[in-house]
Structure 1
């Protein structure tokens, strides 16, 4: 009986105590798409940085899936013994640069000098996001680090004000904004308490090849290679139904695809198949 009570008490401590150690870490929050779910003044708004998601668990830096990021010790030495959530970022259009650093098991100290750890949350199930923002801003500013910075949050009263900020972010090369519901507590997984507001464009391209699928798409089309009217070639592997993978857009046909801006190499980012363009 005593052992059962102790186990129950231990479980209660894990659930209700503020999170400070990696073994009690929460799963990360994932954003849904902003579609004006609530009035703008319900949210705190920040720029969405195009970096690599990085979780500091109080002891080590990890990717969203839990893999260790082998950052230099000097980079993480000042970080506190508590959970932080943020982005490793090295400037606009430098996602590939940061991604390559994160995959290395031996850190490139010179290249890491260009990286910033931009903090946007200090997960704690007992605090609202507005309270967590106040906490992480005070905590990170107190580190006095040139590499670790808090992401500022802004409050807007109208959609017009939000769009003005959104357009400012896009004008300087950003990819969009994030809206955190001010009064929401941290909740693991994909949640409408965190929303991403990003531009989605569409364009047309000609199908020039079919790439065979692998794994669950074995025997079907895995992706198509297309060429835009400007001569840019790239692959599109998402947006297709299984039926479309079995009977893909014919080579030579024109398709419409959606994308979210461009990479530093001028290729559409996050391209997704939309439809075959009808011949008029």
Structure 2
């Protein structure tokens, strides 16, 4: 891999020392988003929908996940891509993350299922220009690729905090995850960036399942709640967000899950935590 790849093999435990699995990979060095700080000069930002997909990095010859796992896409999917670095999101629609994950994780790609998948580009890791110029270049590159399954995520200016909030509410009502704000002058620098922001109506986090609690009443004989532990050792229970099928076959102990919450208590624990899904290993 090139200059945006880690030089040595790294052992990834998704930063949780209690997690029982290890992935050895060469992870690309990507730019990461910070949380929206509520006080910005919004005229300097472009806004797009935050797609609930799987982040994908194209190094010019191979498609990789954020954690450095190779994505085994069909040859027809990658053949039109240019020999330059691209970054985007594999996506099949709002609320369909689980279906997408089952498609993308298959090491023998299912040609028919991959026909559902789109590559939605949002940056050029090799680009030395400010983001607004990289976005223009990305549009031109995508027109040159000329495949319906390769699109650029649309970036729009926003006029005010009220307009931004209305846009967030609309995306959320449609089943979307939230918004991304990208400073027009932001350069592509690997690591956490204060000029690449995510804005959602809720917060999310990851934790490892450490215990199951049996349900009561209509959930008798099924899962009532899971006890989870976060990276910093905090433990709490999550009892909502599970389907009946998931209560009958709950996430195994040791599984990393993603949960949603709305702020924290005085003790620093997530408020109104709800199960979202298993954390993708990609």
* Richer in helix (by share): 1
Q: 2:143 aligns with which of 136, 141, 144?
A: 141
Query: How many residue pairs get matched?
Result: 228
Q: Report deviation, 1:70.
A: 0.5
Counterpart among 177, 180, 183 of residue 178 in structure 1:
180
Mapping of 1:153-192 within 5 angstroms? 153-192=155-194
Of 235, 256, 266, the match for 2:226:
235
- Confirm whether residue 222 of structure 1 aligns to residue 210 of structure 2: yes
2: distance between equivalents of 1:117 and 1:90? 9
How far apart, in 2, do the equivalents of 1:50 and 1:76 lie? Answer: 21
1:124, CA displacement in angstroms? 2.9
Aligned to 2:270: 274
1-structure distance, mates of 2:109, 2:168? 35
How far is the alpha carbon of 1:225 from its aligned partner?
4.6
For the 8 Å contact 1:258–1:274, the answer to whether it is kept is: no
Greater CA drift, 34-43 or 188-197: 34-43
- Alpha-carbon deviation of 1:38? 2.0
2:109 pairs with 1:120: no
Matched residues in 1 for 2:216 and 2:193: separation?
35
* CA distance in structure 1 between the partners assigned to 2:164 and 2:214 by the alignment: 35
Deviation at 1:235, TM superposition (A): 3.0
Structure number with greater Rg is: 1
Q: Residues 167-213 of structure 1: CA distance to partner in whole angstroms, max 9, x if unpaired?
A: 121121111000111111011012112111011179xxxxxxxxxx9
The alignment status of 1:42 with 2:30, answered yes or no, reads no
Further displaced range: 161-170 or 148-157: 161-170
Structural RMSD (CA): 3.5
Q: Are the structure 2 counterparts of residues 240 and 178 from structure 1 closer, same or farther at C-alpha, using a change threshold of 3 Å?
A: same
2:3 to 13, 16, 24: 24
Secondary structure of residue in 1 paired with 2:156 = coil
Query: Residue 202 of structure 2 contacts residue 260 of structure 2 at CA under 8 Å; is this kept in 1?
Result: no
Deviating above 4 A after TM superposition, structure 1's stretches of 4 or more consecutive aligned residues are 223-234, 238-241, 265-269
- 8 Å contact from structure 1 (residues 55, 61) kept in 2: yes
Q: Matches of 1:177 and 1:187 in 2, distance apart?
A: 20
Compared with structure 1, are the counterparts of its residues 154 and 275 closer, same or farther at alpha carbon in structure 2 (3 Å cutoff)? Answer: closer
Q: Alpha carbons of 1:55 and 1:262: their partners in 2 closer, same or farther (altered >3 Å)?
A: farther
Unmatched tracts of structure 1, length 5 or more: 1-21, 203-212, 215-220, 250-254
Q: Structure 2: 5+ residue runs without aligned partners?
A: 6-28, 248-256, 262-268, 273-282
Residues 45 and 157 of structure 2 are in contact (CA less than 8 Å); yes or no, is this contact kept in structure 1?
yes
Over 3 Å counting, the alpha-carbon distance change for 1:37 and 1:114 in structure 2 is same
Distance across 1 between alignment mates of 2:228 and 2:128: 41
Q: Secondary structure at the match of 1:142?
A: helix
Question: Could you tell me how far apart the structure 1 residues matched to 2:218 and 2:203 are?
Answer: 16
